[in-house]
Amino acid sequence: MATSPVAVVCVGMAGSGKTTFMQRINNYLHVNKKKPYVLNLDPAVLNVPFQPNIDIRDSINYKEVMKQYNLGPNGGILTSLNLFATKIDQIITLLEKRANPPADSKIVPPQHFLVDTPGQIEVFVWSASGSILLESLASSFPTVIAYIIDTPRTSSTSTFMSNMLYACSILYKTKLPMILVFNKTDVQDAEFAREWMTDFEKFQEALREEESKGVFGGEGFGGSGYMGSLLNSMSLMLEEFYSHLNMVAVSSMTGDGIDDFFEAVEEKKQEFERDYRPELEKRRKEREAESAAKREHDLTKVMRDMNVNPRPKASESRAAKEGTSDEEVEEEEAVDGDEYPDAEREDEDDEGLKRRYTNTLREQGIVVDDDDPAVAQMIAATKRAVQ
């Protein structure tokens, strides 16, 4: 039995080399005869150096969205993602079909789904549409976040710690396995970052060196020692955070470290199945239970509004009417018929009742199928009412 493909979602600050990294890993998989399935979720990009199988630009015109809704660049990207997220069920269906081709088909299912995201990282990670896209992916496939970091720009303790804090927030927001990808190692080696993440004393040494050079300023904010104290505290806090991450150093230009990256992807895939999927299943069941409870409440309300209540037996009805004229009895029975509309259809078959109740529920805004258990419950209640 074929294993499920792993979805690799690439996120990173603008200018971190995310799109070039996507091109490199896409090329690596093609060269190794492991053709991936690629998604581009950046509506504002003009050209991408790879051929996406699903491209948000095919269905969303970013410039038209900005013009129509009178938005700026970030608002246009966010709104485009929101519009695209309304079709997430179709996207997941396409991915599932691609991952499980027919048995008699010659199509080889991909081992990787590669997802490129907008450079405005906060627009994707912190938006409702970004959450919908990630949760939908994770509900169907093992999903890994690849956080791309610009290594040359992270060489100071303050910028390094800023990136780590952002990575920490993304990890706990998405609740998905994460790989820290230190990119552009052809410009600057990332060994310093590995040392700072694994050896607290090394980070302290670098921090003291920067303080002695006046990197944080002279008198006032930096010179008071506040910045050094803050970075010390954050370093201690993130020590536990580092233990849950895989860190790889790569160069998108030369291809160095790409083997290490895919080894980390496989490791995180196993971690997803072992640690993350049970939690996702638990949250899914909780949502389904809440939905079922709400559905039951809505169904009860609809049945009450339709007066699906027990009807008095005919003998009891006549006994209650003793001493009244025939005209009065007929008039009261007519009223009873209005109060109990289902009683007038004692000879109606189940299919007729099913059609009526399905239409009524849909009018109430409750979406049901013809074979929905809620409809069967209402039919059974009607039969009890008219007996």
**For the segment 309-341, what is each residue's pLDDT rounded down to a tens digit?**
444 444 445 445 455 555 554 555 444 444 444
In a domain, 68, yes or no: yes
Of 18, 31, 23, 90, nearest to 59 (Cα)? 90
pLDDT over threshold 60, residue 11: yes
The most distant pair of C-alpha atoms in the chain lies apart, rounded to whole Å, by 108
Q: Is residue 328 assigned to a domain?
A: no
Does any domain span residue 163?
A: yes
State whether the Cα torsion 223-239-158-165 is positive or negative. Answer: negative
Residues paired with residue 6 on neighbouring β-strands, in sequence order: 112
Q: Is 265 contained in some domain?
A: yes
CA distance 370 to 376: 9
Query: Confidence band (pLDDT; 50, 70, 90) for 287?
Result: confident
The pLDDT assigned to 305 comes to: 67
Q: What integer pLDDT is reported at residue 143 of this predicted model?
A: 95
How many residues does the structure list for the chain?
387
- The answer to whether 78 and 123 are in contact (CB under 8 A) is yes
Domain range for 140: 6-213+230-283
- How far apart are alpha carbons 180 and 20 in whole angstroms? 16
Does residue 27 contact residue 133 with C-beta atoms inside 8 Å?
no
CB-CB neighbours of 97 under 10 Å: 12
pLDDT of residue 232: 78
How does pLDDT run across 341-381, given as a tens digit for each residue?
444 444 456 677 677 767 766 666 666 666 666 667 666 66
The yes-or-no verdict on residue 223 having pLDDT over 80 is no
336 CB-contact burial (10 Å; exposed 0-12 / middle 13-18 / buried 19+): middle
The torsion angle over the Cα atoms of residues 76, 81, 83 and 86, rounded to 10 degrees, is -170
> Which pLDDT score is estimated for 344?
45
- Read off the pLDDT of each residue in 1-23 and give the average, rounded to a whole number: 88
Provide the H-helix boundaries in the chain: 18-31, 62-69, 73-85, 88-99, 121-125, 128-140, 157-174, 191-198, 200-212, 226-237, 239-242, 258-271, 277-305, 314-320, 326-339, 350-363, 373-386
Q: Report the pLDDT value the prediction gives residue 327, as an integer from 0 to 100.
A: 55
Per-position DSSP letters for 195-231, written without gaps between them:
HHHH-HHHHHHHHHHHHHTTTT-STTTTTTTHHHHHH
Q: What pLDDT is attached to residue 183?
A: 96
How many domains, in total, are found in the chain?
A: 1
In a domain, 188, yes or no: yes
Give 53-81 pLDDT, tens digit per residue: 999 999 999 999 999 999 999 899 999 99
What average pLDDT does the structure give for the chain? 81
- 112 CB-near residues (< 8 Å, 6+ apart): 5, 6, 7, 8, 29, 34, 36, 37, 265
Q: How far apart are CA 252 and CA 159, in angstroms?
A: 21
Q: Average the pLDDT over each of 154-163, 236-245, 320-329 and give the range with the smallest value.
A: 320-329
Question: Is 318 inside a domain boundary?
Answer: no
Give domain status of residue 369, yes or no: no
Q: What torsion, rounded to 10 degrees, do the Cα atoms 259, 111, 269, 290 define?
A: 150
Neighbour-count burial for 204-231, b at 16+ CB within 10 Å, e otherwise: bebbeebbeeeebeeeeebeeeebbeeb
Q: What is the pLDDT of residue 300?
A: 75
Q: Lowest-confidence range among 15-19, 117-121, 151-155, 289-293?
A: 289-293
Write out the two tokens for 110. 């991909």
Distance of CA 32 to the CA centre of its chain: 30
User: What is the number of other CB atoms lying within 10 angstroms of the CB of residue 347?
Assistant: 7
Ramachandran sector of residue 309 (left: φ over 0; alpha: ψ -120 to 50; beta: rest): beta
What pLDDT, on the 0 to 100 scale, is given for residue 208? 85
Instruction: pLDDT band for 201, please (50, 70, 90 cuts).
Output: confident
User: Which pLDDT score is estimated for 275?
Assistant: 85
pLDDT grade, residue 172 (50/70/90)? confident
More confident of the two residues 302 and 154: 154
How far apart, in whole angstroms, are the C-alpha atoms of residue 190 and residue 170?
Answer: 21
Residue 17's CATH number: 3.40.50.300
Asked whether residue 306 is assigned to any structural domain, the reply reads: no
Residue predicted with more confidence, 84 or 382: 84
pLDDT tens, residue by residue, 21-56: 999 999 999 999 999 999 999 999 989 999 999 999
Residue 334 vs residue 217, higher pLDDT: 217
Report pLDDT digits (tens) over 91-147.
999 999 999 988 888 888 999 999 999 887 887 888 888 889 998 999 899 999 999
**Interior CA angle at 333 toward 332 and 335, to 5°?**
65
Residue 221's pLDDT is what? Answer: 45
Residue 77 is given by DSSP the state H
Higher pLDDT residue, 350 or 277? 277
- What is d(CA 76, CA 63) in angstroms, rounded to the nearest whole number? 8
DSSP category for residue 83: H
